[in-house]
């Protein structure tokens, strides 16, 4: 079972705000189905022990605060986003139609191999967008590399890997890459046009600056074309 991040200081502060003693907390947690001794509550606040996931969820309910307050961090990983939603791995796996073993493996490796429907269910359950999921899994640089290669060369060869990376159907990815490839090609045409016309250097520098700005926004522009939430694909689309 995943050990949640835990902030002893935040836990103590939350308890004090509620005006509860360790005994009160332990009694209320028992009512929530997670019985503990008051000494364990104190140990959490002293930092010598860390609550289990069920204990963290019960403690958040007792102290009337989101789990993220007790975790003391903004969720960064897949597991932490699940904890923030007070979902066990078993419950989330069932909700998205995936085996618990496969889902736990995704959390441990930070690698997602779910199909379109499982991915859509995952982002819905965790309150995320597809773009956020790609960021959580650490694939932003990989996506940027694919986009750069696609606009500078044969974009069609990057459709499948990009579609698999962002879990969007290939029809929509193809449309986005085609558009970006054409847009980027315009910079080269404009630049060469000014070179042939022997225009002043300032105009060439402007075009070069526009090109650089376009490259810096590749990922942002891709999601603008695709849609960050990842709407449902057409019924006749091939799902990655």
pLDDT per residue rounded down to tens, the chain (240 residues): 557 899 999 999 999 999 999 999 999 999 999 999 999 999 999 999 999 999 999 999 999 999 999 999 999 999 999 999 999 999 999 999 999 999 999 999 988 989 889 999 999 999 999 999 999 999 999 999 999 999 999 999 999 999 999 998 899 999 999 999 999 988 777 766 655 455 566 777 777 788 888 899 999 999 999 987 654 433 233 333
Answer yes or no: same fold for 8-71 and 78-128.
yes
Q: Where are the domains of the chain?
A: 8-71, 78-128, 140-226
pTM of the model: 0.82
What is the 3-state secondary structure of 63-130? CCCCHHHHHCCCCCCHHHHHHHCCCCHHHHHHHHCCCHHHHHHHHHHCCCCCCHHHHHHHHHHHCCCH
CATH T-level topology, domain 8-71: 434 Repressor (Amino-terminal Domain) (1.10.260)
Q: Which fold has domain 78-128?
A: 434 Repressor (Amino-terminal Domain) (1.10.260)
């Amino acid at each position: 079972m995943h050990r949640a991040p835990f902030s002893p200081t935040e836990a103590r502060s939350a308890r004090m705000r509620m005006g509860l003693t360790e005994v009160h907390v332990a009694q209320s947690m028992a009512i929530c189905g997670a019985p503990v001794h008051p000494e364990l509550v104190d140990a959490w606040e002293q930092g010598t022990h860390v609550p289990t996931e069920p204990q963290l969820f019960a403690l958040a309910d007792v102290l009337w605060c989101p789990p993220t307050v007790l975790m003391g961090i903004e969720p960064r990983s897949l597991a932490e986003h699940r904890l923030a939603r007070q979902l066990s791995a078993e419950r989330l796996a069932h909700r998205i139609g995936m085996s618990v073993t496969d889902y736990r493996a995704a959390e441990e490796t930070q690698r997602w191999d779910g199909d379109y429907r499982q991915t859509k269910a995952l982002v819905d359950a965790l309150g995320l967008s597809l773009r956020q999921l790609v960021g959580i899994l650490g694939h932003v640089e990989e996506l940027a590399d694919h986009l750069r290669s696609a606009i500078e060369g044969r974009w069609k060869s990057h459709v499948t890997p990009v579609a698999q990376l962002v879990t969007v159907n290939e029809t929509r990815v193809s449309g986005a890459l085609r558009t970006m490839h054409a847009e980027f090609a315009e910079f080269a045409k404009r630049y060469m046009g000014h070179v042939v016309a022997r225009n002043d250097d300032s105009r060439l520098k402007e075009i070069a600056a526009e090109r650089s700005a376009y490259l810096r926004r590749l990922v942002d522009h891709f999601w603008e074309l695709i849609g960050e939430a990842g709407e449902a694909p057409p019924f006749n689309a091939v799902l990655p």
